[in-house]
Every structure is written in structure tokens, then in C-alpha cells.
Structure 1
């Protein structure tokens, strides 16, 4: 059977965009069901004399709605709402709704299985002490819109809340389903649609499943047996459950027995449900996101250490050219992590990691040995050189405060004479800063990268003591 696509193009009335009929086949069930309900809701408004359109035929601009076929080759297509005989895409005459129902029920308005299910539900509701006011086929007149009425299969009060059961054993037009939903919602009445089987090849079943949080109330033989064993009205609660498999979320239909006490009654939709697909999906995605963040965090810390290790190898090899590229490769790896931001870009700046730059001095202080300088140098000699060495665009003493903070935090080995020299130097530096002089103003452009590699200095670097943003390396 070839797909039926009579109306080749439709116009989205909200966006004025053209929609090819083939595009309907690519939509997910959730997306298609939402569009189908919206179009049928608009159709219902038009039937009541109102003006509402979701889609139009691209040739005749006549309103169209969405239809589907679930058996054989699954298909979806646009259908003209009413006659548009001059349109080349018009489908032709159709059977009336009454003719279609006559064929389905063979002239009967209701079959024996339908009556039996109504009686079964009513009988077991009567055994529930939380249920009252049970009736079958009682006409309910609208209190909101005068003249409207519905005759639900079974109606009752559950925990003081009005509740109706509508049984679906054969084809029902989606427009009828929508009309009943809207009527009961206006009247503040909860509605449960009941099916005898789980048949996703039936359009009405698929529409209901993907509209009501992927929940279906099925009263099959197994559910009836459970009802007798539990002495409480029980349904086979079919639901679609999302599951995380190899980093992909897969949906699977499962079933569990559901009593009324297991059902939730949301006041916003008045459509009872027993499983919240969206909440479960959100929980899975949150866990997935958290796991991903943990992976990123772990990789981040691992790569930071890899950067430090690569830097030490580079310095210990006397800045060998062949070891510079691996260091910069690690920076590229860091830049692909979600924790990366522009403040870390200086990790690839030779003014930060290069010959006798900031990084080798800080590593020498923390590791208590000469790194990036002569192997015969003491840590004091590295510091002394660093304290008096500036770079292009940066003051000669722009890193002095930083190195003194590092010395205080890491306490490398030092002779008494050298310690006193540093104390005197620090005193002179402090006096100069307090006097407002610029000699020892601290360059802060590397602060974020330094906090990343030397977290022990983060508290010191948060201070604005001697800070300057004027100099740029």
C-alpha cells in the first residue's frame, strides 16, 4: 500500500510556512499528536461557528486537518475540512460520520462487550468505600456552556472528586475525543479513557497515549482477574518508560497493575495518570548531565595535572623545542572542556609559561627546587631573578607580590640570610604600595590561570593589594 498524500503542501497559519505532506512522516509521535490535536481543536471551533485555523491547503486555502493510518504502511496526511471540489488536491466525497459508525457497529450504537465493560467498572466502583454516586449513561448537562451535554459511560465521585470513565472499543473520531475532553475540563470533571487492549496500530490509542503523558488505562482479562483478586478496580497501566542505554535514551512500553489509589489527579488537565513520563525523563537527563559534568570535572583536573607535568618536562629539558608542542597540545585539550573560559588562554602565552617567565618561578617555589633556571640555582636565586625581571609591557617588579605570596604559602627551603633579605624586600614593597607608588604594582592578567594551577594562592589573589590592570603583557 502506497502512502496517501493527497494534499501535497499545507500552510502553517501561525508562521505562514509551507509544510510538505512528507514532512509529517518524519515527526515524532509527540510532535504529530500535538499538531493533530491542535488542528482538530480548531476544526471543532469552526463547527461551532467560530473562526480558528491551524493549517490551510496551499492551493485553495481551505482549512485542513491531520489524519493518520496505523495499519499496514503507517501514514499521515492532510485532509480538507469540508468540500473544496475545485481544488485539484481535494480528496472527493467521504462517508458521513453516521455511515461510518453504521459500518463499524453494523447498525448498532453499542455492542455487548461495551456494555459488559461498563457494568464491570460500575460494579467494582461500588465496592470501593472511597467511591460514591455511581451511575451509567447518565446525561451530564453543562453548567458553563448552556445547552451542552454529554452521556459518559460511567460516572462517579472519587474522594469527593467527579470522575467519568469513557470506554474505547472501536474507532472514535479524534474530534469527538477532543470535544469530550474540553466539555469535562470546563465542567471540572476528571476523565479516564479505558481501552480493552493495548493496540498502538490504532490511531485513537496512539493519540491518547502521547497526549496523556504516555499513559493508557487498559481493562483486559488480566486486569479483570487482578480486580477480582485484589477486590478493587484494577487496570493494566500501560506506560512508556524512558531508559538510559549506552548514553542514549530509549523508550519502551511496559505495564503494571494500577488501582485508583495509584492514580494522580492533576487539577490543570483533569486527565488522571499513574506514571509521569516527563518527570522520569527529566530525572534521567539530570542524572545524565550530572554524570557528564563529573566526567568533565575529572578530565579537567587530570588535564591540569598533565599541563603541569608537561611544563616541568619542558623546563627540565632546558626548554627543548620538541617538548613545547606537547605542552600546547594539553592546552588545546583543556580548551575543549566545559570548565574552560577565556581567563585561561594565557596558559598558551609564552609570557606566562615561557623562558624564565611566571610559571617556572612559581613551580620552583612550590616544588622547592630550581625549575626552568640553572639546576645549580637555589630557590632563593630563582626568586631573586624573578623579583627583578619584568617583561615587555609589564613593570619590572609586576610579579613581586605574587612571588612573595607564593613564598609565604609554600615555605621553600631558605637560609636565614635569604629569609631576612626577602623580609626586607617585602617591607620595602609594602611601603611603596601604601605610598601610592607604581613600582611594585601587581599585574593581574594571569590571576585566573594561576588560581587554576596553584589553588593555594586563590585567597591571596582575591585581594586587591597592589593590583593594577594598566599593564598588558
Structure 2
């Protein structure tokens, strides 16, 4: 079976066709759609001629509004069809919109949109919705809104007052030039009004450029009025709209947008101006949510970097405490850690076992976590605990917090065969309560220790005695 390709003709006198039913201009590609050759012939070429024969001039020339049809050139042994628009009766008197300026085309499009059947339906649904909500007054359709200078004016599809605020409702039913959109935004804002654009449909994936201009400038929100929303407005006596919006979502790769959909009340909408100075209307604050998502993303990235740095420190320090590193390894690896921690805003001593640094705090913390002494000759954790009470009282706070965090009560009970440790627990707990200076930790190490041991960071910075926990620790 011969497969025929479908493509636009290279030379096209008429770039657009007007769909009178919905009041929208279509390019040749939009008119033909995504179907194959058979679909184009059946649905567009033949289908349009059937409508014309039944007296329905739906597709017409935007310039003269006379019926147009789909014609084609066949090339390359009947394997390719190149289509183009032409008048049903082409006497050569109409050249379409070729040669018209941007403003003239915008005015022509705007006027034809206003006259469409769909536009009339839109206005009827909107007017009915506003009448059902007692907070709206002075509702009018197609009435002039005169500028404060008394010279310029706009004629919104519908306008009304709500709680003392004048509001313009405009239908975005066809492609509109950006300057037309912006002129309306600026006009209503300058004259103390608010503007709400309403769409034909809310399929964001098929938005045209003009619809994207409005959607993205309105904080990624779009609205429309339907038969369903009219019924909901009638039931609740509140003007409701259908709304779609983007929701920034945190993923493994970063922040991506998901589409959300819902029914919202008009009084839930926010009217403000963006950081770029664009007047906007929205239900969901995408911009604020995006900032929060990016903040969470940055926090997650920092957490991952912190964990990697924390692990790098342990990969060095635990073997160092156990005497497993030679001097060359220490001299090579420790300066690198110094630099990395300095970049993180944390200080380390010039040498890892400097007694004036956090050496004994680290020894106590890592030992308590492991449940066995690390970096010392003590036989078990209780013997190390006796040594800390006798010689390193300032390390007891982090030691007991790590014992509690890793539930080492059973270890301490097993090795406290004489009960002497329990008596010393009472001794240092009483000292904590009194605030005895001999038992107080060096607060200069708090930032580093909180970084290395985040599981106890919230308690570590508190005064000893605040969290006393088990009697054995």
C-alpha cells in the first residue's frame, strides 16, 4: 500500500484560516492536525466541503470572511502531498492578511474573537456566575472602561465591582500579540483595577504562545469558567473557577514542576505585582513555593556534602586513634581535612592529637558510640568512664549524651561489676546540676562537635544537667 507524506506547500499565499465557531485563527499545521494523509483528506479536505454544502461556512478567510478550502500539490510519484489554503471561489481579489501590520492583524483577530459563538457562551457563563455571587455588583458586558485621563479606553468582555474593587474579565480564546496583553495589564493597573484572564481550556501542554505569556506571568496559574463551575457557583453562592497551576516538586535531579488542578473561589485569588513589575492574578503562589523548594534543595545538597565530609573525617580519625596510620599518611591527609573543614567554617587543630584541641572529646564520643574504648588502653567502657570522671571531667557531657544516643546502658551495667560506676554517675550528675566549672565542657568546640555528631547536636549545646537520662549514664 502506498504511503503518502503530508506537508505544507512551500509557497502559501494564505497563512491563516479563521474558525468562526470558536473565533480562533489557525495555521495550516494546526488546521491539518497530527493525523496521516487519510485523516487530512477525510476530516479536513472533504469534511470542510461537506459543511459548506450544508450552508455552514465555519472556516473562512480572516480578511474577507469568505469560505476557504484545503487544496494540494502532488509530487514525487504520488508519494507526497503539499497542502495549502485557498478560497472556495478564488477571483484573485483577496490576498488574505499578507501586508497587514501587527496592530492591524491584532485588531482583526480581536474583533473576530469577540464575534465567535464560543465567546458569546463564555460571556453568558461568566455573567451568570457573577450574578450568583452577591459580593459582585455593577456587572456589565462590553462596556467601556475609560482611562483616568478621559481619552483612552478599553472595553473588557465583562467588568464588575467586588468589595469596592473594579475588576475586568478578559477571555483569552485566541492567539493575541504580547503587546496587546501587556497594554491591557498596564491599563487596568494604572486605573486602579484588577484583571483576570480566562481561558478556553486548561491543557497546559497545548497552550499557545499567548496563553503561555499569560500563564507564566500569572505566577503559573490559569483559569476558566465552565458549565460545571456555574453550577457550583449556584450551589454555593460564591463565584468559582476551574484552575490549573504548576507545583514545584523536589526530585533527585533538582526541582521539577507538576501540574495541579482544582476548583477555587474568586475570593481565594491574589492580585499583586511580580518582582519584575508584572500585574498578576493567582490562586497558588508558585513563586513562593519555588523559593522554598530551591531552599530545601540547597539544604539537601549541603546535607549530602556534610555527610561526605563527616565520613572523610571518621575515615581518617578512627584509624588515627587506633594507631593504624603512619606519620606520612597523617602529614598528607590531615592538612587536606584542615582545608576542607576551614571551607565549611569549622576549625581543626594543627595536629589531630593536640591536647588543647577536641582530641579527648572525640575519643570519648567515638568510644561511647562504639561501646568499646577507642584510642586508649582501657579494657572496657566502664574503665574508660572512670578515667574520664577522674581526669577528663569536661568530656563527660558528650560522653553521656553519646551513651544515651546509642543505648549503651546494658554495656555499662555488664562491666560495672562492683557498682562503683553508679556512684560516680550520681557524683557527676550532681555536679552537672550545680554547674560545677570542673565538669563544664569547652564551648569553643560546640560547632565542630555538633557537625561531627548531629544525632546529639540539639542537646550538646544545652547546659549539662538539662537532659539527665538513665541513671547508668
TM-score (norm 1): 0.51
The correspondence of residues 61-460 of structure 1 with structure 2, limited to 5 A, is: 94-97=99-102, 100=105, 104=109, 110-143=115-148, 145-199=149-203, 200-224=206-230, 226-228=232-234, 230-266=236-272, 270-296=279-305, 303-314=312-323, 321=326, 325=329, 329=333, 332=336, 336=340, 340-341=344-345, 343-344=347-348, 346=350, 349=351, 353=353, 407=392, 409=394, 452=449
CA distance in 2, matches of 1:252, 1:106: 35
Q: What SS does the corresponding residue of 1:197 show, helix, strand or coil?
A: coil
Per-residue CA distance 1:402-452 (angstroms, 9 max, x = gap): xxx9745359xxxxxxxxxxxxxxxxxxxxxxxxxxxxxxxxxxx879965
CA distance in 2, matches of 1:235, 1:311: 67
Counterparts in 2 of 1:196 and 1:228: CA distance versus 1, 3 Å: farther
**Equivalent residue number for residue 411 of structure 2:** none
CA distance in 1, matches of 2:232, 2:117: 22
Structural RMSD (CA):
4.9
Shift of 1:365: 9.8
TM-score (norm 2): 0.51
Shift of 1:254: 2.5
Shift of 1:202: 1.1
CA distance in 2, matches of 1:309, 1:343: 18
Q: What SS does the corresponding residue of 1:311 show, helix, strand or coil?
A: helix
CA distance in 1, matches of 2:247, 2:374: 61
Q: How many residues end up aligned between the 2 structures?
A: 301
**Equivalent residue number for residue 466 of structure 2:** none
Q: What SS does the corresponding residue of 1:343 show, helix, strand or coil?
A: coil
Given that 1:168 and 1:196 are in contact with CA atoms closer than 8 Å, whether structure 2 keeps it comes out as yes
CA distance in 2, matches of 1:121, 1:150: 19
Per-residue CA distance 1:213-243 (angstroms, 9 max, x = gap): 0111122455445445545432221111111
Which 5+ residue runs of structure 1 have no aligned equivalent? 3-92, 380-404, 412-446, 460-473
Given that 1:360 and 1:371 are in contact with CA atoms closer than 8 Å, whether structure 2 keeps it comes out as no
